[in-house]
Amino acid sequence: MEQTTLDAFLEIYAQLQTMTNNLYNLADAAVDTRNYNDANLLQARADILYEQMENLNAVISEYEV
């Protein structure tokens, strides 16, 4: 894999991590206000992004030098 591709994957991984953390924090805040419908939706979206992060990390790990 080209270094530019690896760099792009690393950048996207960091962005996914930020978005995932934001969604989990928003889900926690929704629970605090007893807005469980929004909390469930936010949690589900965060879980999907987290799964994508894990998949991307596996690809990155295979090609890191």
Render pLDDT for 1-24 as a digit per residue (tens, 0 to 9). 899 999 999 999 999 999 999 999
* Cα pseudo-dihedral 52, 61, 14, 35, rounded to 10: 30
The contacts of residue 9 (CB under 8 Å, 6+ apart) are: 56, 59, 60
* Count of structural domains within the chain: 1
* Residue 65 pLDDT grade (very low, low, confident, very high; cuts 50, 70, 90): low
Question: Per-residue pLDDT tens for 24-57?
Answer: 999 999 999 999 999 999 999 999 999 999 999 9
**63 or 14: which carries more pLDDT confidence?**
14
The Cα–Cα gap between 17 and 9 comes to 12
| Domain with 10 in it | 3-63
Q: Is 31 within 8 Å of 12 (Cβ atoms)? A: no
* pLDDT at 1 (0 to 100): 87
